[in-house]
Each structure stands twice: as C-alpha cells, then as structure tokens.
Structure 1
Amino acid sequence: MAKTVLVVDDVSELREELAFCLEDEGYRVFLAANGVEALNVLEQQEEVSIMITDILMPKMDGMELCEEVRKKRPGVKIAAISGGGKVSEENHNLVGSYLRKAQRKGADVILEKPFALDDLLKVL
C-alpha cells in the first residue's frame, strides 16, 4: 500500500506540483492551504503518515501546526519547508532560523525552498 502524504502550503501552484510529483512516485496525497485545513484533514484521514508543511501561512502557520500534530498525531512524520515568503540573500538566515525553530517544534526534517524533488524524496 502506498504511503499517504499531506501537503500543506498556501501557494496553490506548489501544492499541486508537489501532489503531481508525489503521486507519480506512488504516494497517495491530500492537500491543505493552511494549518487549520491540515488539522481537519488529519482528523478525517487516519492513514496520513507524512506531512510536508510550509512555515509561513495564514490562519495557522507551520510552527503551530507542527506543535499540534505532535500532540494529536505523534506518529506522523513532518517535513517543514520554507522560503521565507521570498527567496533572497537577505532573508537566507531568517529562513534558516524559521526552519530550525520548526524542528524544535516537532519537524523531523527541514528543507529550504527551492528544493529539488530528489532531495524531498530522499527524506520521505
């Protein structure tokens, strides 16, 4: 049976692209635009074993989401991703700070956007 992944990102194009690539690799994929939607999916879909979440999102950000998932579904593996809203040299350190904080909040793996699909597949 294929592993089930929840992709959480407020950028619809990225969500759809990740879903397409992951489904092509044999994963079953659910999508959410923010942390609130993600928690709803996790309540309804017990088979989700991996969550890929952006950090900066409206309604509930990825750090809050990591904390909530650790409390409610501790067995779910979490990959936190972030580009800091805009990839630039100035915010590179800020992105690293977000990702390290997400790891302290419960993320198993962190990836900075943009990342190669092969890098994501290795951590999954």
Structure 2
Amino acid sequence: MKDIKELREHVKDLKVLFVDDEEMVRNGTGIFLRKFFDNVTICCDGEDGLNTFKESKDIDIVITDVVMPKMDGITMIRKIKEINPDIFTIFITASREVEDEQDQLSNIAIKKPISFEDIIMIMETVGKLK
C-alpha cells in the first residue's frame, strides 16, 4: 500500500458524486470522503444523482447506494453509463448479495458502512486508472 498522503495527492482532484437516501449515511460518509477528495457532491436519491450528473458532466467517480426511493442506484448508474460508459462507479449496499447487473455496472462493490480501508482501496484503484 502506498503512503496515504501520496495516494490522496494523486486522487484529490477527482470529482466524486455520492448518492444515498439515508441522511446519517450521507452526512457521515460525506465528511469521510472529503478528507480524501477535494470535490464531493452529495445527493439524496437516484433521481437527484442523475440530474446532478447531467448538469455537471465532469464527475469522475459515482458512489451510490443500491436501494433508494424515486430511482434505485442500479437504474441511476445504467442511465449515467448511457451518458458516459467509462464512468468509474462504486455501489455501496447493506446487502451481502451482489446482483449480476450490479456487478456488471460497477467497478467496485462495498458493504455499508464505508471504512477507512474501503477508501484506501478506492484511491488505489482509481489512482491506477488516472
């Protein structure tokens, strides 16, 4: 594993869209993500996330919950990938099962809650692509 400061320096300019319907998860994870990424936008459901993505087409990473009202994460990512098929996507879910479609649409799947180790793994993976 690389030094955390070196990893952060390498990925800090990437723009992250984080989508989750649970306010406590949004707040806590948002604070956590901002320690590593300088530009984090947070949305409360898939519909809001899709609209935000369409408005700011320079997003590099989408991290989303799977089960949400209005539009679930899988549907949101499917629509986002119609706009940008190469977008780096991460599903977070409380479920232990990973659906086939969820697995096909995401680069990484993480179980809630997001941990420090998960963030390191994300930064290492994204850092290799950058």
Tell me the TM-score range normalised by the shorter chain. 0.7 to 0.9
Aligned partner (choices 25, 32, 46) of residue 36 of structure 2: 25
Counterpart mapping for 1:1-124 below 5 A: 2-84=13-95, 95-98=96-99, 100-104=100-104, 106-124=105-123
Q: Is the 8 A contact 1:96 1:112 kept in 2?
A: no
| Identity within the alignment, % | 23
Instruction: State TM-score, norm by structure 2.
Output: 0.77
**Superposed CA offset, 1:20-62 (max 9, x none):** 1121223310011111101111111122100000000001001
**CA distance in structure 1 between the aligned counterparts of 2:91 and 2:52, rounded to whole angstroms:** 17
Two-structure CA RMSD over aligned residues (Å): 1.7
Q: Is the 8 A contact 1:55 1:61 kept in 2?
A: yes
**CA distance in structure 2 between the aligned counterparts of 1:30 and 1:75, rounded to whole angstroms:** 19
**CA distance in structure 2 between the aligned counterparts of 1:26 and 1:114, rounded to whole angstroms:** 18
Q: Which ranges of structure 2 fall in alignment gaps of 5 or more residues? A: 1-11, 124-130
**CA distance in structure 2 between the aligned counterparts of 1:27 and 1:50, rounded to whole angstroms:** 13
Q: Where do 4+ consecutive residues of structure 1 move more than 6 Å?
A: none
Deviation of the 1:75 alpha carbon: 2.7
Q: Which ranges of structure 1 fall in alignment gaps of 5 or more residues? A: 85-94
**CA distance in structure 1 between the aligned counterparts of 2:33 and 2:113, rounded to whole angstroms:** 16
Higher relative contact order, chain-length normalized (CA < 8 Å, sep 6+)? 2
Aligned residues: 112
Letter of the structure 2 residue corresponding to residue 96 of structure 1:
E
Deviation of the 1:115 alpha carbon: 3.5
Instruction: State TM-score, norm by structure 1.
Output: 0.81
**CA distance in structure 1 between the aligned counterparts of 2:25 and 2:16, rounded to whole angstroms:** 15
